[in-house]
Structure 1
Amino acid sequence: MAIFSLWVINKAGGLVYQRNFADGLASLTSNEYLVLAGTLHGIHAITSRLSPMGPSSGVQVIEGESFKMNILLTVTGTKFVLLTSLAEPTADSVLQKVYSIYADAVMKNPFHTPEMPIRIEGFDTRIGALIGTGQT
C-alpha cells in the first residue's frame, strides 16, 4: 500500500501543484505532468455530462493495472488527485485532509493568487507530514 503522487488542478485545467511521495511511477517531465493534468480535466468534464441519472460530479476513481487515481472535485472547481496503489484504503480520507490543509494554508494566504501555482512552504510541509516526505 502506497501513495505515489498528489496533484492539484485548478478550475481551468492547469496543474498548480504536483508532488511525488513513493517510487513506482514513471519519471515524467514537468511538461508531461501539465499535459496529463489538462487531459484529466477534459475527461472529468466529459464524464460529468455522461450520467444517465442527471447531473454528476464526474469521474471519482480511475483504476489501472497497478495504480488507482482518486479525484476530489471541490465546489470551486479545483481538483485534488491522489495516485495510489490499488490496495490503498485511506485515499478518500487523505484527499479530504489535503483539501482542509489547502483551505487553511493556501486560500488564507494573502500572498497567494488563486489559480496560480502553489509555492507555499507551509502547505508543502503539512502535506509532507500528512502523506510522508518525498521528492518535489
Structure 2
Amino acid sequence: MAIFGLWIINKAGGLVYQRNFTDGLAQLSANEYLVLAGTLHGIHAITARLSPTSGASSGAQVIEAETFKMTVHLTATGTKFVLLTSLAEPHVAATAALQKVYEAYADAVMKNPFHTPEMPVRSDGFDARVAAIIPAS
C-alpha cells in the first residue's frame, strides 16, 4: 500500500498545494499540475450534478484508474483535498488521512493571519504536519 501524492484544490479549481510522497510518479511541470487540478475540479462538479437520485450529491468521492485511485474530500467551503493512492490502499485509511490533513490545514493554514484564502499554501508548519500524517516512502 502506498500514498503517492496530495493535492489541495481551492473552490475555484486552482491548485493551492501539491506534494508527492514517492519517486514513482511521473515528473510533471507546475503548469501540468494546475491543468490536472482544474480538470478534476470540473469532473467533480459534473459528478455532483449527475446524481440519479433526487437528493443532493457532493460529487465523486473515489476515482479508480488501472494503477491508482484518487480519494476526494470536499469541505463545506468548497476546498477539495485529493489523495492519490495505490489500488490496495483501503478507502477508510485514505479518508482518515484526508480528514487529518484537513484538520492540520484548518489549524496551521486557516488560523494563520498572514495566509490569504484561496492562495497557494506556503506554511512550514503545515508541511511538517503533513509529513507526520503521511510519511514519504
CA distance in 1: counterparts of 2:134 and 2:86, whole angstroms: 14
Count of residues in Structure 1 that have an aligned counterpart in Structure 2: 134
Residue 52 of structure 1: how far off its partner (Å): 1.4
The unaligned stretches of length 5 or more in structure 2 are: none
Q: Does 1:44 align with 2:44?
A: yes
CA distance in 1: counterparts of 2:136 and 2:87, whole angstroms: 21
Task: Tell me the secondary structure at the aligned position of residue 49 of structure 2.
Answer: coil
TM-score (norm 1): 0.96
Partner of 1:114: 117
- Bigger helix fraction: 2
> Which of 100, 105, 115 is the aligned partner of 1:102?
105
CA distance in 2: counterparts of 1:2 and 1:24, whole angstroms: 10
CA distance in 2: counterparts of 1:79 and 1:49, whole angstroms: 17
Identity %: 75
The unaligned stretches of length 5 or more in structure 1 are: none
TM-score (norm 2): 0.95
Partner of 2:69: 68
Deviation beyond 3 Å, 4+ runs, structure 1? none
CA distance in 2: counterparts of 1:109 and 1:93, whole angstroms: 24
